[in-house]
Amino acid sequence: MLAELIRAYSWDVDFQRDIRAGDRFEVMYERFFDGPGDDKRGDKGWLVYSGPILYAALTLSGKRYPIYLHATKDGDSDYFDDRGQSARKALMRTPIDGARLSSGFGRRRHPILGYTKLHRGVDFAAPRGTPIYAAGNGVVVRSGRNGAYGNYVRIRHNGRYSTAYAHMRAINKSARRGKRVKQGQIIGTVGSTGRSTGPHLHYEILAGGVRTNPMKVKMPSGRRLKGEALENFQVARAVIDEKFAALETETKVAEAGK
């Protein structure tokens, strides 16, 4: 559940730098049991598995960010904020799970060349073989060896945005030049090919052909519900809010009983 929570918010929240002491989170998700229970298994039986997060809210530096899982008429399920704006953006800020930001965007002393130069992307340190995801829907315009970049993939997402991935250990066949990819699709794995001192992903976002800081660029917005779709969402949101309020009441009553 924690991994799903982080993934749902990762479009806007940098979990390495945005979290402060006193920040908090709330989460409501489904749990499935194999009841009826007994003395060993409890009232409901053994927990079989946990379902998706239905509702969550992060409070960061006093500001609250709620999201709701909602299925639209076209059959797609996604997380939306309380105004019907998709939490998902057109591009992922960090197209890799569980990685550490090892080098930021800007001028730095190059670890191999030994002199200061502009680092036009960000580096995520991760073990060899860690999956790398396509940051958004698009078409692969370059795939293969690319000098100091090593194994390299570039994806064109629209007329303005492209993303690039370097030093990869391997490139998936589905990410060859000319192939269409979907957001979150695995395009390769972390390696240390090219001019690299260790396994990591070098990630770039290009806006209008210019490399920009992936940690600061304003991500293109995702889907926004309108009209009847927004009305249906607000009804479903009210139901979820009621369910969560009931859970809070049950918890307070239980605590008072103790």
Say which range, 27-36, 130-139, 225-234, has the weakest mean pLDDT. Answer: 27-36
The chain-wide mean pLDDT, for the chain, equals 84
Residues 6+ apart with CB under 8 A from 85: 221, 222, 223, 224, 225
**Both structure tokens of 148:** 């100091």
pLDDT of residue 40: 66
More reliable by pLDDT, 11 or 237: 237
Q: Which residues contact 149 (CB under 8 A, 6 or more apart)?
A: 164, 166, 167, 194, 195, 202
Class of domain 2-89+223-228+235-257: alpha beta
The whole-angstrom separation of Cα 91 and Cα 106 is 21
Cα separation of 210 and 213, whole Å? 10
Model confidence at 49, pLDDT cuts 50, 70, 90, reads: confident
Higher pLDDT, 250 or 22: 22
State residue 252's pLDDT score: 52
Please count the CA atoms within 13 angstroms of the CA of 257 that sit on its side-chain side.
Answer: 6
Q: How do beta strands 210-212 and 180-181 pair? A: unpaired
Cα Rg for the chain, rounded, in angstroms?
A: 22
- CATH number, span 100-212: 2.70.70.10
pLDDT, one tens digit per residue, over 177-211 is: 999 999 889 999 999 999 888 899 999 998 888 88
- Structure confidence at residue 189 (pLDDT): 96
The 10 Å Cβ neighbour count of residue 108 is 13
Higher-confidence position of 34 and 114: 34
pLDDT at 108: 46
In the chain, ranges of CATH 3.10.450.350 domains: 2-89+223-228+235-257
The two structure tokens encoding residue 1: 């559940």
More confident residue, 49 or 154: 154
Residues 207-250 have pLDDT tens digits of: 888 888 877 777 767 788 999 999 999 999 999 999 999 887 65
At residue 115 the predicted structure's pLDDT band, cuts being 50, 70 and 90, is very low
Q: Which of 16-20, 28-32, 215-219 has the highest mean pLDDT?
A: 28-32
How does pLDDT run across 89-111, given as a tens digit for each residue?
888 888 888 767 766 555 545 55
Could you give the residue range(s) of every CATH 2.70.70.10 domain in the chain? 100-212
